[in-house]
Amino acid sequence: MSTEIVILAALLTKHIICDFPLQTPYQFTNKGTYGHAGGLLHAGIHGFGTFFALIWFAPLLLILKLALLDALIHYHIDWVKNKINRRYNLKPSNGQGFWITFGLDQYFHQITYLVLCLQLT
């Protein structure tokens, strides 16, 4: 198996863990308020997760930079999604709009991981 596939799989696994079981109501209810500690905590967890997912694949300074970049990008993707959901009152129970923003959110996170992977290969 190629190194790129292993790196991508590590990042995708990190994402599932950080975005679902490790995300608390405090985090997901506050991601739409810019600068709120809940959203920052969630992004920080992703940054730490990225650091540990990539530690075997590159020099420490590069991993630190990529982990910080992931946290910053993750924070802003989530913030934008939450702003849209609040603006248009999008909820899982009231139509397809919520699921479109949820899907786009996940898509942009995955594209981020492809970009991070390319920085290591």
Place of tokens 């397809």: 96
pLDDT tens track for 40-89: 999 999 999 999 999 999 999 999 999 999 999 999 999 999 999 999 99
pLDDT at site 12? 98
What is the pTM assigned to this prediction? 0.95
The pLDDT tens digits of the residues spanning 1-44 come to 799 999 999 999 999 999 999 999 999 999 999 999 999 999 99
Annotated domain spans of the chain: 3-120
Residue 47 CA to residue 50 CA, distance in Å, equals 5
Angstrom distance (rounded) from CA 70 to CA 4: 17
Compute the C-alpha angle 38/39/45, nearest 5°.
90
Read off the pLDDT of residues 92-103 as tens digits, 9 standing for 90 and up: 999 899 999 999
Q: What is the DSSP-derived secondary structure letter of residue 55?
A: T
Supply the pLDDT for residue 95. 87
Alpha carbons 51 and 64: distance in angstroms, whole number:
6
Residue given tokens 């479109």 in the structure block: 100
